[in-house]
Amino acid sequence: MKLTNAWLLLLWLVCSVFTITAQNTHASIEGMVVDETSEPLMGVSVVVKNESTGFSTATVSDISGKYILKQLPLGKPYTITVSYMGYGTQTRKGYELNQGDELRIDFKMEESAEALDEVVVTASGLKSAVKNFGAATSVTSQDLEKLPVNGRNYTSLIDLSPLSTGNSLSGQLPSSTNFTVDGMTARNPTSGGTANRRGGSYAISMEAIREFKVSTNQYDVTYGRSGGGSINTVTKSGTNTLSGSIFTFGRTDWLSSPYDIRGNRRDEDFSSYQYGFSLGGPIVKDKVHFFVAWDHQEDTNPLQIADLQTAEDERRYNVSRESLDRYLDIARNKYGVADSPQFGSFNRKRGTDAIFARIDWQLNDKNLLTLRNNYVFDLHRRAISDNSSIELYEVYSDVRTTDNSFLASLRSELNPKMTNELKFQYLRTSESAFPGEQIPSQNIPRAIVERVHSEVNGKDVYTTIQLGGQRYIPESFYNNVFQLVDNLYYSTDKIDYTFGADLMYTHMESVYGSEMNGRFYFTGLDDFENLQPYRYVREVNLMEDPAVTQNIMAFGAYAQMQASLFPGFELMAGIRADYTNYLDKPNFNEIVYEDLGLRTDNSLSTFQLQPRIQATWDIGERGKDILRFGGGIFGSDINNYIMINNMVFDGTRVASVDINRNDVTIPT
C-alpha cells in the first residue's frame, strides 16, 4: 500500500509540473458587435484591459457577432476596445468586475474612414449581478470597507445569507459546507469547517480579502464537494499604484465593566488588541504586481473555575467554600497538585498571526501567472476543559495550530474561442493539543471525585471535581492536501462549453488520544483522602505507533453547456461526477468476525453523479424582471473524523481496561 501511494503521489506531482493556474473568479465580459443596420459583424477585434494592473486579453467576434472572455481577474477600471477595418475603433471605460459578474457590453459600429469613437461609461451593477439573484449572497470590496466584521473573522459574514445558521447552509450539516479561497479548498481535512478546526480567530487576514460570496443555490458544475452550499473568497492583488494601510483596534480592559455577569468584582484582564498592515503595488508597471498583509490579534479574557465569591455562587456550583478548601488540601498533600491557585478567576490568553503574500505576473498578452501564500499561527492557552462539573486549573489544556496554503495559478488564452485555467495548491494544517505547564507533556491520569458533599443554604448538594490530566490530551492532527484543478472554457457561435477536472490527494496523520491517560473514580472526599478509588478505567494502545495514517484520493470531472435560446433566456445544463477512495482501511479483527460475522477491514469509496440544470430569463432584457429556476444533485465530502474513529477503534489498536475497587493498586 505504501508503495502504491508513493507512485500515485509521484504521478500526481509529475502531472502538476505541466499545469499551474488562477483563482475561480467566475467573472466574464461578453456582448454583441453589430453594424449600423444591426447585422452582426464577424472578426471584430475585442481587447479588454484592466487599467490599474495592465492585465490585457483579447478575442474576436464570431459569425453571430458574439464575443466572450471568461475567468477575468477581478478589479477596476476595465476598458473594452473594439476595432474593425473600415469601421474605426470604439472604446468604453470605467467597468468593474466583482466575483461572479457577467458584464454584457454591446457595440454598434458605423462605417468610417476615421478611427476613434470613445465612450466613457459605468457598468450596470444590476445587469452584472443577474447570475447571483436567488443563488448567492455577495460581499464586494466596497461592502467590506463599510461592514463591521466581528473579530475581523471573514466567516462571520456567512450570517449575511438568509440560508445560513452558523457554518450550516440550507439546513445541511456544517461539515457539508465547502470553503474555498481563490477557488481552491480551504476546508479543514479532519472534520470540515475552515482550515483552523478549533475555531481560531481567523483563517485569513481581512486585509487580504477582496470579495466574499455565500453560494446556496447555484447549479454551475464547477461548484463541487458541497451539500448545502459554498463559502467562496477571493484575495486582493496589487495594482500600478503603490498603496497600503495600517490598522489597529483596541478594546482595553478599562472600557469593560469592572463586574462580571454575576455582578461580582472582576480583577482579571478582559481585552482584545488587533493591529497589522497591508501593502501592494507594482514590481514592474503593467506587468508584475505584489500584495502583502500581516494581521495580529491578542485576546485576554477571564477563565472562571468554581469562582466562589458569594452564597449565590455556592448554590450555582453546588459546592461550598469549605468543601472546595478541603478538596484542594487533599489534592496538594496526597496527589502533588501545585500550590498555585486552582479555583477562582484566571487570565486566559490567545495570540494569532496571519501573513499573506501574493504576486501577479502578466507573462504576455495571453498568460497571467499568480503565486499566493497564506500562513496562520494560533496559540490558545487553557483552551480545552474536560467533562466534569468542576475541574482544577491544571486540567485545562493548550492548543497550537499552524495552517499554510500555497497556490500557483495560470490563466491562458489559448485562442480567441478557448480559455484555460489551471490551479495547483498545497495546503498543510497542523493542530496539536497538549497539557498546560503544571502537567507533564505526556499527561497523567485523572482523579474524578464524585458526590462531593456540601451543605448550601441548609440543603445537601453534590458535585463532581476532577484533577490531573485531560481525557484526550495529548492529541495531534497533521494534514497535507495537494489539489490540482483544470478548467477549459470553449465558446462556439451558439453554445459556451466548460470542461474540467479536480484532483485532490490528502495525507493525514492523526494521534487521537481518547481516554488514553486513564482515570480513577472516587466516591466522596473521605475515599479521596484515603486513596481509595472504587474504579480505574483506561484505553491502552496496542500499537507501538499510536498515529493513524490515512491517504485519500478524490477525483472530480465535469462538463457543462450554456446557450441563449432566445433573447434574454439562458439555459445552463451540466453533469459532475465525484469519486473518492480511502486508500487505507481499518485492520481485520478476527474475534469480531468469529463472534459476530462482521468484518472491520471494509474499505470505503464513494461515487456521486450530479446532473444539474438552470434557466435564467431576463424578461425584456431590461435587467429588472428576472425569472430564475434550476435543479440538481449536490454531493459533499465525507467527514474524515469518522474514518479516524473507525481506524482507531477497530479492536486491534486499542484495548480497554476496567478494574473495580478490590483489584485497584494505588499508583506510586
Predicted confidence (pLDDT) per residue in 194-207, tens digit: 756 565 667 888 88
Q: How confident is the model at residue 409 (pLDDT cuts 50, 70, 90)?
A: very high
The model's pLDDT over 521-558, given as tens digits with 9 standing for 90+, comes to 999 999 999 999 999 999 988 888 888 999 999 999 99
pLDDT at 190: 87
**Is residue 657's pLDDT more than 70?**
yes
pLDDT at 125: 42
Among the four given CATH numbers 2.60.40.1120, 3.40.50.300, 1.10.760.10, 3.30.360.10, the one describing domain 26-128: 2.60.40.1120
- Burial environment of residue 347 by CB neighbours within 10 A (0 to 12, 13 to 18, 19 or more): middle
Tell me the average pLDDT across 77-92: 88
3-state secondary structure of 608: strand
**Dihedral class, residue 578 (left if φ above 0, else alpha if ψ from -120 to 50, else beta):** beta
Distance CA(223)–CA(241), nearest Å, equals: 34
Nearest CA-CA partner of 640 in 552, 565, 571: 552
Partners of residue 371 on adjacent β-strands: 359, 408
pLDDT at 337: 93
The model's pLDDT over 211-262, given as tens digits with 9 standing for 90+, comes to 888 888 778 898 888 887 888 889 999 999 999 999 998 888 888 888 887 7
Most confident of 94-98, 441-445, 451-455: 451-455
Residues with Cβ within 8 Å of 316's Cβ and at least 6 positions away in sequence, in order, are none
pLDDT at 151: 67
Other beta carbons within 10 angstroms of residue 81's beta carbon come to 18
**Is residue 518's pLDDT more than 50?**
yes
Q: How confident is the model at residue 11 (pLDDT cuts 50, 70, 90)?
A: very low
What is the amino acid identity at position 524? G
Tell me the average pLDDT across 333-362: 94
**Is residue 613's pLDDT more than 80?**
yes
pLDDT at 126: 43
- Could you tell me the pTM of the whole model? 0.84
Q: How confident is the model at residue 131 (pLDDT cuts 50, 70, 90)?
A: low
Distance CA(108)–CA(320), nearest Å, equals: 86
The model's pLDDT over 320-336, given as tens digits with 9 standing for 90+, comes to 999 999 999 999 999 99
Q: How confident is the model at residue 500 (pLDDT cuts 50, 70, 90)?
A: very high
pLDDT at 197: 56
pLDDT at 24: 60
Lowest mean pLDDT among 96-100, 301-305, 516-520: 96-100
Q: How confident is the model at residue 134 (pLDDT cuts 50, 70, 90)?
A: low
pLDDT at 253: 83
- Residue in the structure block whose three cell numbers are 490528502: 506
408 phi and psi angles, rounded to 5 deg: -125, 130
Most confident of 18-22, 119-123, 228-232, 454-458: 454-458
**Is residue 487's pLDDT more than 90?**
yes
Other beta carbons within 10 angstroms of residue 505's beta carbon come to 21
Q: How confident is the model at residue 663 (pLDDT cuts 50, 70, 90)?
A: low
Q: How confident is the model at residue 349 (pLDDT cuts 50, 70, 90)?
A: very high
Task: Please give the helix or strand (H or E) that residue 293 lies within, else none.
Answer: strand 288-305
Task: Please give the helix or strand (H or E) that residue 575 lies within, else none.
Answer: strand 569-582
Q: How confident is the model at residue 114 (pLDDT cuts 50, 70, 90)?
A: low
Query: Can you give the residue ranges of every domain in the chain?
Result: 26-128
Lowest mean pLDDT among 64-68, 132-136, 423-427: 132-136
pLDDT at 442: 76
pLDDT at 512: 84
pLDDT at 155: 74
* Residue scoring higher pLDDT (611 or 54): 611
DSSP state of 626: E
**Dihedral class, residue 38 (left if φ above 0, else alpha if ψ from -120 to 50, else beta):** left
The percentage of residues in the chain with a pLDDT greater than 70, rounded to a whole number, is: 90
Partners of residue 28 on adjacent β-strands: 102
Partners of residue 536 on adjacent β-strands: 520, 659
Tell me the average pLDDT across 9-18: 40
Q: What is the mean pLDDT of the chain?
A: 86
